[in-house]
Amino acid sequence: MIVLTFLFKAYFLLSLLYTVIYFEQNVVFHWRHHPDKVKAIFAIFIALFVSMIFGGVSLLQRSWVWLKGKWKEYKTWYEIAKTAKLLTKKMHDEFDNSKKES
């Protein structure tokens, strides 16, 4: 039960954060695209309601994509460094072998 409460609070916080971040964009969009201002105000309230429900999902999805990209980047740099280390070791070994032979 404690875990569910924590997840609900975290999701609510993410939704609230999404609503605050994108509030101005939502208001400007609905105000410009509705000729009737009463409908525009109603659309703004609907946008607020929907962003409170689905805003957490949107932020989680964006965060997940960002983390996945960073993980791929990290793995790629790790493989490049591993290959560079191997090539450097081989170069040093060959240089030492050529010194011993001459």
Q: Is residue 32 part of a domain?
A: yes
Residue 101 has pLDDT above 80, yes or no: no
Q: Is residue 70 part of a domain?
A: yes
Encode pLDDT of 7-51 as tens digits. 788 888 888 888 888 888 878 887 787 788 787 788 878 888 888
Q: Which two tokens stand for residue 6?
A: 């924590």
Report d(CA 74, CA 6) in Å as an integer: 30
pLDDT on residue 25: 85
Count: domains in the chain: 1
Rounded to 10 degrees, what is the CA torsion of 42, 44, 48, 53?
Answer: 70
Residue 74 has pLDDT above 90, yes or no: yes
Amino acid at 100: K
What is the rounded radius of gyration, in angstroms, for the C-alpha atoms of the chain?
Answer: 27
User: First and final CA of the chain: distance in angstroms?
Assistant: 75
Q: Is residue 24 part of a domain?
A: yes
pTM (two decimals): 0.55
- Segment 88-98 shows an average pLDDT of 87
Q: Is residue 99 part of a domain?
A: no
pLDDT on residue 76: 97
Q: Give the domain extent around 33.
A: 2-77
pLDDT on residue 102: 64
pLDDT on residue 70: 96
